[in-house]
Amino acid sequence: MQDRRPASAEPAVPIDPWDAPELTGWRRLPMHAVVRPDAPRVPLDGRWRFQLLPTPRTPLAGRWAETDVPGCWTVQDFDDLHGVRDLPHYTNVTMPFPDLPPSPPAGRNPTGVYEREADVPADWAGRRVVLHVGAAESVLIAHVNGTAVGVGKDSRLASEFDVTHALRPGERNTVRLTVVKWSDATFLEDQDQWWHGGITRSVHLYATDPLHLADVGITAVPGGTLDVAVRVRGGEGVLPAGWSVSGLLCTPDGILRLPADEAFARANVASERVSDFLGEARIRAVVPGVRPWTAETPRLYDLTVRLHRADGSVADESRHRVGFRSVEISGADLLVNGVRVYFRGVNRHDFHPLTGRVVDAEEMRADLCLLKRHGFNAVRTAHYPPDPALLSLADELGLYVVDEADIETHDHAHELADDPRYLGAFTDRVARMVLRDRNHPSVVVWSLGNESDYGANHDAAAGWLRRTDPTRPVQYEGAIKDAWEQAQSASDIICPMYASIEEITAGPHSKPLILCEYSHAMGNSNGSLADYWRAIESTPGLQGGFVWEFRDHGILQRLTGERAGRPAGPDAAADAYADGVTAPGYRWAYGGDFGDTPHDGAFCADGLVLPDRTPKPAMAEHREIAAPLRLELTPDRREARITNRQHFAGLGWLSARWHIGDSGTAPARLPDLAPGESAVVPLPTSLLPHGDSHLTLRVTTAEDLPWAPRGTLVCAPQVVLAEDHRDLLTRAGAVLAADGAGAVELDDAGLLRHPLLTAPPVLTLWRAPTDNDEWGGIADRWRAWGLHALERTLVSVGREGASMVVRSVYATDGAGTVGHEQVLTPLANGGLLVDETAVLPDALTDLPRVGTVFETVAGLDTLEWFGRGPGETYPDRCAGATAGLHRADVDALFTPYLRPQESGGRHDVRRFTLTGAAAAPGIAVHLDLPRQVSVTRHRAADLTAAAHHDELVPRATCVVHLDAAHRGVGTASCGPDTLPAYRVGPGTHRWSWTLQPL
Ligand code: IPT
């Protein structure tokens, strides 16, 4: 196609596209949903010449460096010719520069200039050639052979330019892409994540016929109604005679040929000739026997849409995978295919610890498979449209998606939502997302963006959206922030963030309530997830939520060598990290670690998985909460009841086995149940005489699934057949020594001397503050009370019968004195019974823990415990762990949360042994009640002092905590604090335990 614009006689308008909010793009092709996997294509990923300039106005140097596309220059290793040194920078709300909208900093604005040659086949002559740039942040200026071909803004969506007029088929062509990092658009992209720069998705050229498919919009609903709107564009201004559109749909019964019913109803006619032809055709059909798409049953049908020349040959073709499904809101219920579903969701960014924002399809598949394996059925694409491959994967694997526009004006929220200069950008970003993604069955809700206040610009975008796609609800948290029920046009869903259980259950609600963010996963967190779900499943109108967020955004950083302090980058060897742990010489960097300022520290490390995708313990918690079936005892406790908790699927994809104790196991037969149905099944009588009374149904995948191999754990519900009420000594198999005189040895301070302990058991009220403790503010109160450095004063040592009674006091800073009594009684087997009482003054209103800490000799490296496990658990995060006998290496008990903090706890522990290599003795500990216990290589003080794991030196000893009470972890870093039921208050705390050498 020729560029028919006349040469202008006017002088050029001096626009800096990076400082012009009204300009969202220039000569950019309209966004569309045509997918052409087979179109002739020249891939342009790989090495490009590169210069990073300090400003877009800086002249190029004569020499070029090189770098890879796609890539973030902020993590790449290249020859920094202009000395720009632009490393990752992390801020949450705060803009990374002080300038006010709409202008970016004039003085320093890193600008990457990418250039390379493209060999274009000679047979592309006469065809339309399009340059596709997957994503560039934040302003893209494209040139071909020195001709400016277009400008694009919007860092998370592709820009396409028609480059036919500038390109020379059969020759080497030069493509230059200039990427300006800061712009007027940066104020719209103020998401809580690292700032990067670069071209983050793939680049290529492709060719089509001049007359081509311009867009395809598909609506497909259960029942089989298929409606495909096809737009055709280009050519010589009129539709050539005889051209047509058709569809081919693959069904299990064969290929259906679907003609367009009204070809080109809106075609231009010769008398109304315009610059290029635009016509629309429609394919309508009712497909018999379709099986609907849901996240549980992600059935897809291949559809090919074709544009035919007069002779029937194919001029253009677009490929789709169609899912027949509907979404509607009825009262306070959001229905998928007519059924009220729960959203067991997570917020997910495009993130990688080596590449920054460049993610490939295999990485995305790994993310989604991991989510499916942990019971998630929904993703919110926080806070921008994802790489398009993510949506195809969600279609295929079965996940509901809330697709979110790339609008977050957090630091200037109020100004921009009503700023008419940004009106175009708001609607453009929403519209381009919808036009790209509307054919994905997985996308069930559109989101207008995040944290941008609420203004007329949102309503304008919502208005465009509702007319263009009436088939999906729209949500926007900013619109419901102040009043959930308030009438407005921007949100069909009450989608609050971080609302408490009390708030969400204070209905009734007029619309479905689905939390767009909740259960902030920063560090050791996600307390009360099970309480949320108890509330959601028992309150009309509540339909779930999206955990914040999937992954910790830690960037792998080199600590040694020539590039010390820099990101390890895309080429870092795989052995630089594994299982959440970085190799020596590396660490997970967070805000401030690259010298970035201002910054928000570790607030970017708030995911359910560590940067390398190792699941944090909260993932197991979610898996159990999301279990597809429920197991209960019948009231007479002689049988079990199994309920199918899914919305669409039967239980046929699952297999199950009963487990009891450490070895008893028997096959279980799952009943054939429709969603919501339940049935009574017999208990495995052969197992029941077994000593232990915790009966677990281990449920796994019965066959290989696209997201999990056969045998993958799905859930492990447990019932308790009988409680163990025996007293401590009976359970420990111990009796008091007849005459214990001299058996308990104390030092001058009244502390126990014991051959297996290197540090005696003492009272502790301190835990290394979690991120929730720090950001929620409670840790400052604990410090103010001096809990981290309590000084012990011995009051008395006395003897009562065979026992030694040691009384001491601990002075706090201004909160009174803590009294502590330890009664040490020898046991006949050489062990010791320890009865402890702590009396806490009323001023200590809220404590991290009350308990005992001691350290063992070195050489003990295996913990075997009866309690919840195998994963880490805390009082308000223990639904994902079964009670029973578990065994683990001491080193593996600890979770390396990015900023060191309290970690490694096990809840409801009744007894444990710590053993080492055969020769070394070990210890056995029994507790009076199921208690919180931790065994790690780190003292609470070590963890408190460290900012990163590389600063920690694991001890050879075991640091053992036995807690009478331990505060739940809550979610206070962003959201509700630990619920009152899981807090530790003042008053009298008593606990007893026995210590036996093995
Ligand atoms: C909310 C943001 O939407 C999200 O991007 C992230 O910053 C999260 O908080 C915290 O990690 S906004 C917050 C002010 C509630």
Residue, of 274 and 83, whose pLDDT is higher: 83
Per-residue pLDDT at 547: 98
Per-residue pLDDT at 259: 84
Residue 272: phi and psi, rounded to 5, are: -110, 40
CATH superfamily of the domain spanning 17-208? Galactose-binding domain-like (2.60.120.260)
CATH 3.30.1490.190 holds for 628-716: no
Pick the closest to residue 787 from 800, 799, 796, 778 (CA basis): 778
Apex 504 CA angle, 445 and 974, nearest 5: 85
- Name the pairing type of β-strands 333-336 and 339-340: antiparallel
- Give the CA dihedral 728, 729, 733, 739, nearest 10 degrees: 160
| Residue 266 pLDDT > 50 | no
Mutate to test the pocket of ligand 1, among 517, 772, 898 (most ligand atoms within 8 A of CB): 517
User: Does the annotation count 517 as an active-site position?
Assistant: yes
Per-residue pLDDT at 725: 86
CATH 3.30.360.10 holds for 757-791+840-997: no
Is residue 688 very low, low, confident or very high in pLDDT (cuts 50, 70, 90)?
Answer: confident
| Residue 586 pLDDT > 70 | yes
Mutate to test the pocket of ligand 1, among 477, 497, 515 (most ligand atoms within 8 A of CB): 497
Distances (CA, A) of 831 to 268, 851, 914, 957: 95, 20, 15, 20
| Residue 723 pLDDT > 90 | no
Neighbours of 793 (CB within 10 A): 11
Over residues 273-297, the pLDDT tens digits come to 555 667 888 999 999 999 999 999 9
Catalytic-role residue among 160, 517, 624, 902: 517
Strand partners, 431: none
Per-residue pLDDT at 707: 98
Instruction: Find the 388 Cα to ligand 1 centroid distance in Å.
Output: 24
CA distance 752 to 595: 47
Is residue 902 a contact partner of residue 940, using CB atoms and an 8 Å limit?
Answer: yes
Q: Which of 6-20, 39-53, 604-618, 786-800 has the weakest average pLDDT? A: 6-20
Mean pLDDT of 325-339: 97
Over residues 841-861, the pLDDT tens digits come to 999 999 999 999 999 999 999
Over residues 526-576, the pLDDT tens digits come to 999 999 999 999 999 999 999 999 999 999 999 999 999 999 999 998 889
Residue 444 CA, distance from chain mean position: 19
| Residue 1 pLDDT > 50 | no
Cβ burial, residue 27 (10 Å; 0-12/13-18/19+)? middle
Q: Can you read off the two tokens belonging to residue 11? A: 């002088």
Per-residue pLDDT at 564: 96
| Residue 3 pLDDT > 70 | no
Residue 793 CA, distance from chain mean position: 48
CATH superfamily of the domain spanning 223-322? Immunoglobulins (2.60.40.10)
Name residues whose C-beta falls within 8 Å of residue 417's C-beta, 6 or more positions apart in sequence: 409, 452, 453, 454, 455, 456, 457, 458, 478
CA distance 960 to 856: 8
In CATH, the architecture of 327-554+590-615 is: Alpha-Beta Barrel (3.20)
Is residue 739 very low, low, confident or very high in pLDDT (cuts 50, 70, 90)?
Answer: confident
Instruction: Find the 946 Cα to ligand 1 centroid distance in Å.
Output: 25
Q: Can you read off the two tokens belonging to residue 758? A: 């290197």
Over residues 397-441, the pLDDT tens digits come to 999 999 999 999 999 988 999 999 999 999 999 999 999 999 999
Instruction: Find the 618 Cα to ligand 1 centroid distance in Å.
Output: 19
Mean pLDDT of 876-900: 96
Per-residue pLDDT at 277: 67
Is residue 265 very low, low, confident or very high in pLDDT (cuts 50, 70, 90)?
Answer: very low
Cβ burial, residue 47 (10 Å; 0-12/13-18/19+)? exposed
Per-residue pLDDT at 676: 97
Nearest CA to ligand 1 atom 4: 192
- Give the CA dihedral 541, 546, 548, 550, nearest 10 degrees: 160
Q: Which of 248-262, 371-385, 419-433, 670-684 has the weakest average pLDDT? A: 248-262
Is residue 354 a contact partner of residue 363, using CB atoms and an 8 Å limit?
Answer: no
- Name the pairing type of β-strands 474-475 and 443-447: parallel
Is residue 590 a contact partner of residue 582, using CB atoms and an 8 Å limit?
Answer: no
Is residue 742 very low, low, confident or very high in pLDDT (cuts 50, 70, 90)?
Answer: low
Residue 130 CA, distance from chain mean position: 34
| Residue 978 pLDDT > 80 | yes
Instruction: Find the 369 Cα to ligand 1 centroid distance in Å.
Output: 25
CA distance 944 to 947: 8
The reported pTM is 0.96
Give residues (CB < 6 A) around ligand 1. 92, 191-192, 383, 450-451, 497-498, 517, 520, 548, 603, 606, 974
pLDDT, mean over the chain:
94
Q: Please report where in the chains the tokens 């209103």 appear, as a residue.
A: 845
CA distance 733 to 735: 7
| Residue 975 pLDDT > 70 | yes
Strand partners, 208: 128
- Identical fold for domains 223-322 and 628-716, yes or no, is yes
E strand intervals along 677-716: 678-682, 694-701, 713-715
DSSP structure string for 203-224: EEEEEE-SSEEEEEEEEE-TTS
Atom of ligand 1 nearest to the CA of 497: 15
Mean pLDDT of 93-109: 96
Cβ burial, residue 560 (10 Å; 0-12/13-18/19+)? exposed
Domain chopping of the chain, boundaries: 17-208, 223-322, 327-554+590-615, 628-716, 757-791+840-997
Question: In the chain, pLDDT over 90 holds for what percent of residues?
Answer: 90
CA distance 847 to 24: 53
Length of the chain: 998
Taking the chain, what is the end-to-end CA distance rounded to the nearest angstrom? 86
Nearest CA to ligand 1 atom 7: 192
